[in-house]
Chain A
Amino acid sequence: MGMEHMDAEVVETVAGATRLLRRAAELAWMQADAAGPRSWRQLLALGIDSAADEALGLLPRRARLDGPTPVGDNPAELLASADQLLRRICVVSAASRLSGLRALVAELVWEANTSAGA
């Protein structure tokens, strides 16, 4: 279930988290590609991609995602910002999806901050 009936502020918050996650994924892929063909970072980048898609899936089709590119070049920090945004909202109609997404993002923050992911 998406958030077709959610208020504009919640939609904008999730859209903001999605933008952060997309940018984090973009940076993570750049780092993975730079690290070479056997980079373990691919797993992190793919995980962030999935989180961005999950967040996007919460949004109604009409939601606009274009906006300023999030500032920062550290995927871990962008992930942490997305995590904070997602914790601010409460969506009854998509509670389980939202809690799944929060868990995934929290896990990715941890991965990104470990020695292999950092």
Chain B
Amino acid sequence: MPARDRRTIGELLADSDALARETLLDATPENAPAMVRSWNQLVASAAHLWAALASRPDSMSGSDPMERLRVVGQAIGRSVRAGHWPGHGATDDHLSEISDNLSRARHLIERHDRSSHPANTARDAHTPDIRGQVMHTLYVAAHGTAVALGGYVTGLQHRLEVGSRRRQPMAERPTILEITEAQGMIARFGGFEQLAAAYMFGQPLPSGDPGQLRAAAPATRLETALAAWEVQAHRTLAANPDSADVVRVARVQALIASTTSIVTEAAATTGHIDPDLWQRLAPTLEANQVAWSRLAKRWGELTSPASRTDPALVAAASEVRAAIAATATTQNGWATPDQLASRVDVVNTVKTLHLSMVASVDIAHVARDTAVDHPGLTATARIIGMRAQGEAEIAIEHGETRYEGVRWTTPRQISSNEVIPLPEPATRGLINLTEDVIATTKQSVAAAAQLDPSGVTRSVRSGPEARRGRSVERRQITHPPGPSPKGPRR
């Protein structure tokens, strides 16, 4: 019989943070797939603990920072369950242990709440600190997972190169697809990490540490609308979405890219940010807007008069539109740089929009999973005839032989314009367009890396740096909260 766990809430959180640091300092590439599999459970435990600390009934609303992270964790979990990389298999002991610790802490809090324990008053006073610790643990664990994934990808690339050189059988070599999917997972964990960082470095630290107080980011309408949008987009895409839902997601994301471009240019023009940053960022934002718009148009071809957009998504999209209109437009169009600078804190607004771009990396991956996994995609025969043939011809040019001579629709289907299931090449076209979205989003995020709220800018972790692990990361990572509850410090 195992000994009873007598650790306090503070000890459980401190142990969790220490375990998270271990995952980072000893990042083992071989563990990366298991870490990805454990991620959703870890975030769920953190979210439940966060909710147990809530004193307001609306604290798990769309603008709650933990809710933003929870939907990303859930999306990663769904992707794994659906069989996408890394697929089913072992989970990671460290992350599972952190998850258990957080669940145990939640249990203690709930027990104290039920018994009106005198410790509640003290705990309530420390709630922001506990939240800071929980967020820090997720932040470090996400970074550790991304580092492990970076090493894993480097290993795959090395094996592929050696295998090709030695002409090993294909079955013994990693596939390009596996490498691409693992790289995609690095981007998703990178996004998660930045969202966690935004909470930690945007929130005021405890008053007992006045030397390190930071100004809290103002809860602007735009910030709230964008956070609520991210959560709702994840929720809608998770629930067997209609094609009209994907269209709306893509259109709003395109608008966010345009707005980011307008506001960033204004910040550069008025001398609030480095003009070189704008020069790097501008083409990537334009490409991203175009990619989302193309995706919207293609999904739009799959809608029918009966298509209905999720009302909750419509409401979230309307609020984003209204918030952007209030922030960045006048009666005559986009506000000028001077108008913007006089109306809002342009640097913070740029950071808010950049954070939304970071979050959109995961939305793009979920949109890709939707294209891959959606069981009931259909379109009219004339659209399918045009799209499937076009995509098949592109694939044939790239060496695909399975599509040669295939007819995707019958004359009868064309003549009645019957609604029929989407054939493989047309689905492939959707996936390719989503991959353009993912690539351009990552380029935008990378180009704007100096706006990272944590100030810790890292390049893609599949390079040699990823292998250095301990020595490099020891310098880069923030220090965790100390044994007594305090906010995260640098």
Contact = CB atoms under 8 A, between A and B. Distances in A.
Genuine A/B complex: yes
A43 interface: yes
Contact of A65 (B257, B305, B311, B333): B305
Contact of B251 (A40, A46, A66, A116): A46
B125 interface: no
Interface stretch (B23-31, B111-119, B314-322): B314-322
24 contacts: A29-B296, A37-B254, A37-B261, A37-B285, A37-B290, A38-B258, A38-B262, A39-B258, A42-B254, A43-B255, A45-B251, A46-B252, A47-B318, A47-B321, A49-B317, A50-B314, A50-B317, A53-B311, A56-B308, A57-B314, A65-B306, A67-B305, A116-B331, A116-B332
Contacts of A45: 251
B252 A66 contact: no
B298 to A, nearest CB: 12
A33 interface: yes
Interface string B93-120: 0000000000000000000000000000
Contacts of B317: 46, 49-50
The residue in A40, A65, A67 that gathers the most chain B C-beta atoms within 10 A of its C-beta is A40
B321 A38 contact: no
B447 interface: no
Contact of B324 (A29, A43, A53, A56): A43
B291 to A, nearest CB: 10
Interface in B253-283: 254-255, 257-258, 261-262
B333 A116 contact: yes
B286 interface: yes
A103 B324 CA distance: 19
A37 B289 contact: yes
Nearest to B296: A29
A42 B324 CA distance: 11
A42 B262 CA distance: 13
A33 B255 contact: no
A40 B314 contact: no
A42 B296 CA distance: 12
B258 A46 contact: no
B286 to A, nearest CB: 4
B332 A53 contact: no
A42 to B, nearest CB: 5
Nearest to B320: A46
Given A33-B293, A43-B329, A50 B286 contact: no
A46 B321 contact: yes
Contacts of B252: 46
A49 B251 contact: yes
Contacts of A37: 254, 257-258, 261, 285-286, 289-290, 293
A42 B333 contact: no
Interface of B: 248, 251-252, 254-255, 257-258, 261-262, 285-286, 289-290, 293, 296-297, 305-306, 308-309, 311, 314, 317-318, 321, 324-325, 329, 331-334
Interface of A: 29, 33, 37-40, 42-43, 45-47, 49-50, 53-54, 56-57, 64-67, 114-116
Nearest to A59: B308
Contacts of B332: 114-116
Contact of B321 (A50, A66, A116): A50
Contacts of A40: 329, 333-334
Contacts of B306: 65-66
Contacts of A116: 331-333
Contacts of B329: 40, 43
A40 B308 CA distance: 25
Nearest to B321: A46
Given A29-B296, A49-B317, A114-B331, 12 more contacts: A33-B293, A37-B285, A37-B293, A38-B289, A43-B255, A47-B321, A49-B251, A49-B309, A53-B314, A65-B306, A66-B305, A116-B332
A19 B462 CA distance: 51
B266 to A, nearest CB: 12
A26 B68 CA distance: 31
A67 B309 CA distance: 19
A25 to B, nearest CB: 10
B337 to A, nearest CB: 13
A40 B305 CA distance: 27
A88 B306 CA distance: 24
Contact of A50 (B258, B262, B296, B318): B318
Contacts of B331: 114, 116
Contacts of A64: 305
Nearest to B303: A22
A57 B257 contact: no
A44 to B, nearest CB: 9
B314 A54 contact: yes
6 smallest beta-carbon distances between A and B, as pairs = A116-B333, A37-B289, A65-B305, A40-B333, A66-B305, A37-B286
B238 to A, nearest CB: 20
Nearest to B252: A46
A111 to B, nearest CB: 9
B24 to A, nearest CB: 38
A37 B254 CA distance: 8
B441 to A, nearest CB: 14
A46 B334 CA distance: 15
B254 A38 contact: no
A75 to B, nearest CB: 15
